[in-house]
């Protein structure tokens, strides 16, 4: 609930080290009235300091990654999973692929750098740059699991390339690797004499072959070609040289230095409302190398200056230190330390580096989850029980349970949509927001509302929107409404319908709903299932549990992003494929068991479910086993009635924008299933309709 209206938009482009720390600080001390958005291509941001240790096998991928989804939840920010492709400084909007522009009052850019290696002929097809780190880490994970006597070529003989070479050699030491470090001049020229000598000795001890004064001119599947005509064999080629700014930065219209955003001592660009930090920024008044330590130490200054810019306060300058302690991994658990020209190496320095890196990452693993609201000292009887022990879920997890609705609605409780007149059906649905992103929430709510129409075998016709926006300024109302209506219009147009009107108001939190009509010659209802029919679902289940865990800071960010992707997958083609179903519904608030009970009761049949065949969303079963449940779980368990045999909590998990559940004839099930798979649905046959009225599991 927002106690004060939202009046300003702060947008963080990129999930780099500085922005990660800013989000953490924001969660502990937010500025009232500010809506925060973070845009990043992926749910995680790898920590560069631990990459060599990960490559060497000392750390897992989970150790390496900052979970931006958890961090955004802690900060009260919306996270947009996508690539920023440009900034319109005049309109103060940020362009992100596949969605309407994102407006800002103040923005900050922390997108790091990319590699110039793809400019080499064949590099994009046959090699992998060391940056971005996430992509590199995934490719390396796959390679080392399959490698056998591997040949590895690393282009770029700087500190980063040497670290990777020794890490790779250590990781593959039992597989007789050949690791070559290639540079167009001398290797390790950025180090002082003492440090360079120790690094060269470490490279020799790791059996790294150093190839100097050798320019790579082409990459092919089996290796690299040098300008002098030599061919170097390689099964895994990477580039740790030639770092450059992202291409789209050049189109922003800001002052640049060799493609990097020029910033002043306050970290402001030539446009005062746009800040830049980390490797993508250049400080002409006090130039510093591209090193993570500077990004980390910029964080408190950026945090203070963003708050000042949004509240009319005074900015303060960032003053970088003259030098810093460089800790370089040497493959095994030993490290090199250099500062002010002195250099030392040994296992104790690895222990120090490991301590520093883990301490940095621990900041993001100890975030306190969202707490249940505190009760006044004296409340009415039953308030504590009604409130529960955790915050209310969003989406279908916030709905009234099946048992209560069945009791109250009696004869009116039934099919997904009502037949208005022959050939036309109508349904209405709305959702309490489960994400702070209006665009994503609109996609989910639209697909969810259309589900009732698709479940009747109908084609969408027209829709009206019903919106409740959080209290916000007129300007933010316009921005939010623009995002919502542009998204809704696109989704309904794709489905074959259109938005014809609606209603909006302000309230405590974002709620989005649609009333939809559809056209069909013969509605598919709940009441036509026959013994022997196969039960088909078109999406995996588990969204209620995952989103409940996400609210509590317990869900893996990647699982959350995949869960949301399942929600926004429409069911238009699935509805057509299942057009001859005897009975059909969509799996939403009542969960799989509750909606199956609806088919069984209406059709006068029973069912048997094969628990092992039910598709589950990534991470859902582990969370359910750990006791994570949606707030609607218990109501759904009661509403589903008695189920014989083994049980599974996810049967009662409310699904937001869930898949279709169809009873189809046994002879057509295999064909329908294959067509669904061909269209990209994670569909499965999960059981069959039986005589009687009982639902059983096996």
3-state secondary structure 105-167: CEEEECCCCEECHHHCCCHHHHCEECCCHHHHHHHHHHHHHHCCCCEEEEECCCHHHHHHHHH
Report residue 695's pLDDT band, with 50, 70 and 90 as the boundaries: very high
**Nearest-angstrom CA–CA distance, 682 and 659:** 9
> What does the pLDDT read at residue 212?
95
- 410 by Cβ neighbours in 10 Å (0-12 / 13-18 / 19+) ranks as exposed
Place of tokens 């009662």: 652
Report residue 136's pLDDT band, with 50, 70 and 90 as the boundaries: confident
Tell which residue, 662, 176, 155, has the closest CA to residue 454.
662
* DSSP 8-state code for residue 6: B
Mean pLDDT of 614-630: 96
Residues 6 or more apart whose Cβ sits within 8 Å of residue 666: 532, 533, 534, 688
Rg for the chain (alpha carbons), in Å? 28
Residues 6 or more apart whose Cβ sits within 8 Å of residue 587: 537, 539, 541, 595, 655, 658, 659, 660, 661
Residue 410 has pLDDT above 70, yes or no: no
> What does the pLDDT read at residue 129?
84
> What does the pLDDT read at residue 461?
96
Report residue 396's pLDDT band, with 50, 70 and 90 as the boundaries: low
The model's pLDDT over 502-528, given as tens digits with 9 standing for 90+, comes to 999 999 899 999 999 999 999 999 999
Largest CA distance in the chain: 87
Report residue 1's pLDDT band, with 50, 70 and 90 as the boundaries: very low
Task: Please say whether the beta carbons of 260 and 281 come within 8 A.
Answer: yes
The model's pLDDT over 3-60, given as tens digits with 9 standing for 90+, comes to 789 999 999 999 999 999 999 999 999 999 999 999 999 999 888 889 999 999 999 9
Quick check: is 600 catalytic? no
> What does the pLDDT read at residue 137?
86
> What does the pLDDT read at residue 101?
95
The model's pLDDT over 157-179, given as tens digits with 9 standing for 90+, comes to 999 999 999 999 999 999 999 99
> What does the pLDDT read at residue 398?
55
* Pairing mode of beta strands 216-220, 223-226: antiparallel
**Nearest-angstrom CA–CA distance, 159 and 167:** 12
- DSSP track, 258-293: TTEEE--TTSB-SSTTEEE-GGGEE-TTS---S-HH
Task: Please say whether the beta carbons of 508 and 1 come within 8 A.
Answer: yes
Lowest mean pLDDT across 60-64, 133-137, 171-175, 264-268: 133-137
The structure's pTM equals: 0.89
The model's pLDDT over 416-449, given as tens digits with 9 standing for 90+, comes to 678 889 999 999 999 999 999 999 999 999 999 9
Single out the catalytic residue among 280, 393, 396, 563: 396
> What does the pLDDT read at residue 157?
92
Query: Helix, strand, or coil here: 42?
Result: coil
**Nearest-angstrom CA–CA distance, 691 and 85:** 57
**Nearest-angstrom CA–CA distance, 187 and 130:** 17
Q: Is 599 left (phi over 0), alpha (psi -120 to 50) or beta?
A: alpha
Residue 87 has pLDDT above 70, yes or no: yes
Residue 545 has pLDDT above 90, yes or no: yes
The model's pLDDT over 345-383, given as tens digits with 9 standing for 90+, comes to 999 999 999 999 999 999 998 887 655 667 788 888 877
Mean pLDDT of 218-226: 94
The model's pLDDT over 590-620, given as tens digits with 9 standing for 90+, comes to 999 999 999 999 999 999 999 999 999 999 9
Three-class DSSP labels, 428-492: EEEEECCCCCHHHHHHHHHHHHHHHHHHCCCEEEEEEEEEEEECECHHHHHHHHHHHHHHHHHHH
Residue 278 has pLDDT above 70, yes or no: yes
**Domains defined along the chain, listed by start:** 8-113+245-324 (3.50.50.60), 117-242 (3.50.50.60), 416-523 (3.30.1330.10), 525-698 (3.90.650.10)
Residue 561 has pLDDT above 50, yes or no: yes
Tell which residue, 298, 277, 271, has the closest CA to residue 94.
271
Q: Residue 112 corresponds to which tokens in the numbers above?
A: 């790091």
Place of tokens 């301490």: 359
Report residue 407's pLDDT band, with 50, 70 and 90 as the boundaries: low
Where do the DSSP E strands lie in 173-268? 178-182, 208-211, 216-220, 223-226, 231-233, 236-239, 243-244, 256-257, 260-262
**Nearest-angstrom CA–CA distance, 401 and 403:** 6
**Nearest-angstrom CA–CA distance, 101 and 82:** 12
> What does the pLDDT read at residue 21?
96
**Nearest-angstrom CA–CA distance, 511 and 466:** 8
> What does the pLDDT read at residue 572?
96
> What does the pLDDT read at residue 288?
79
* Pairing mode of beta strands 256-257, 243-244: unpaired
Report residue 120's pLDDT band, with 50, 70 and 90 as the boundaries: confident
- Whether a cis peptide bond, with omega within 30° of 0, leads into 681 is no
Report residue 412's pLDDT band, with 50, 70 and 90 as the boundaries: low
* DSSP 8-state code for residue 417: S
The pLDDT mean for the chain works out to 91
Distance set, CA 115 to CA 78, 109, 238, 239, 550 (Å): 29, 18, 10, 8, 34
> What does the pLDDT read at residue 149?
92
Residue 411 has pLDDT above 60, yes or no: no
Query: Helix, strand, or coil here: 636?
Result: helix
> What does the pLDDT read at residue 390?
65
> What does the pLDDT read at residue 408?
57
């Amino acid at each position: 609930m927002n106690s004060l209206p939202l009046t300003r938009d702060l947008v963080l482009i990129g999930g780099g080290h500085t922005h990660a720390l800013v989000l953490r600080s924001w969660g502990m001390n937010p500025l009232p009235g500010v809506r925060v958005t973070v845009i990043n291509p992926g749910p995680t941001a790898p920590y560069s300091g631990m990459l060599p240790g990960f490559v060497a096998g000392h750390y897992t991928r989970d150790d390496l990654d900052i979970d931006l989804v958890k961090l955004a939840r802690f900060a009260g920010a919306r996270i947009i999973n996508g690539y920023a492709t440009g900034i319109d400084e005049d309109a103060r909007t940020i362009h992100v692929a596949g969605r309407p522009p994102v407006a800002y009052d103040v923005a900050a850019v922390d997108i790091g750098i990319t590699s110039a290696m793809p400019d080499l002929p064949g590099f994009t097809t046959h090699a992998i740059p060391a940056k971005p780190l996430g992509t590199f880490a995934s490719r390396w994970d796959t390679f080392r699991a399959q490698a056998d006597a591997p040949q590895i070529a690393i282009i770029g003989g700087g500190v980063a390339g040497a670290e990777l070479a020794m890490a790779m050699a250590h990781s593959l030491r039992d597989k007789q690797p050949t690791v070559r470090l290639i540079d167009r001049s001398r290797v390790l020229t950025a180090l002082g004499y003492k440090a360079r000598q120790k690094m060269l000795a470490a490279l020799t001890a790791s059996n790294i072959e150093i190839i100097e004064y050798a320019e790579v001119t082409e990459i092919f599947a089996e290796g690299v070609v040098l300008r002098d005509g030599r061919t170097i064999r390689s099964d895994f080629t990477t580039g740790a040289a030639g770092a450059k700014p992202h291409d789209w930065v050049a189109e922003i219209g800001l002052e640049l230095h060799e493609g990097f955003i020029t910033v002043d001592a306050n970290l402001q660009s030539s446009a005062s409302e746009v800040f830049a930090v980390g490797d993508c920024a250049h400080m002409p008044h006090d130039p510093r190398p591209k090193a993570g330590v500077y990004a980390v130490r910029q964080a408190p200054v950026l945090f203070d200056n963003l708050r000042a810019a949004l509240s009319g306060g005074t900015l303060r300058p960032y003053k970088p230190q003259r030098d810093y302690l460089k800790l370089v991994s040497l493959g095994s658990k030993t490290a090199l330390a250099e500062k002010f020209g002195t250099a030392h190496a040994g296992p104790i320095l690895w222990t120090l580096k490991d301590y520093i890196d883990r301490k940095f990452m621990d900041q993001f693993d100890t975030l306190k989850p969202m707490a249940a609201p505190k009760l006044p000292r004296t409340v009415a009887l039953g308030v504590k029980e009604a409130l529960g022990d955790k915050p209310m879920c969003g989406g279908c997890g916030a709905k009234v349970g099946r048992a209560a609705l069945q009791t109250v609605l009696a004869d009116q409780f039934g099919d997904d949509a009502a037949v208005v007149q022959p050939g036309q059906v109508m349904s209405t649905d709305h959702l309490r927001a489960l994400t702070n992103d209006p665009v994503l929430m609109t996609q989910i709510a639209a697909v969810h509302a259309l589900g009732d129409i698709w479940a009747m075998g109908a084609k969408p016709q027209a829709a009206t929107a019903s919106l409740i926006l959080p209290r916000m300024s007129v300007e933010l109302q316009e921005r939010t409404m623009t995002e919502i209506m542009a998204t809704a219009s696109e989704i309904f147009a794709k489905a074959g319908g259109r938005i014809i009107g609606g209603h909006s108001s302000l309230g405590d939190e974002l709620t989005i709903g649609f009333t939809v009509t559809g056209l069909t010659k013969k509605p598919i209802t709940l009441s036509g299932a026959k013994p022997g029919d196969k039960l088909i679902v078109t999406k995996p289940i588990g969204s209620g549990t995952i989103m409940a865990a996400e609210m509590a800071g317990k869900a893996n960010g990647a699982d959350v992003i995949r869960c949301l992707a399942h929600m926004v997958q429409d069911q238009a083609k699935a509805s057509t494929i299942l057009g001859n179903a005897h009975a059909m519904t969509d799996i939403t608030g009542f969960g799989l068991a509750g909606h199956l009970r609806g088919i069984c009761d209406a059709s006068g049949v029973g069912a048997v479910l094969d628990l092992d065949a039910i598709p589950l969303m990534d991470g859902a079963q582990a969370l359910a086993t750990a006791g994570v449940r949606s707030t609607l779980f218990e109501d759904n368990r009661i509403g589903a009635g008695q189920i014989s045999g083994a049980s599974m909590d996810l049967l009662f998990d409310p699904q937001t924008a869930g898949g279709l559940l169809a009873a189809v004839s046994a002879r057509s099930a295999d064909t329908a299933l294959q067509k669904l798979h061909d269209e990209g649905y994670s569909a499965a046959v999960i059981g069959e309709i039986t005589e009687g009225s009982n639902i059983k599991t096996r």
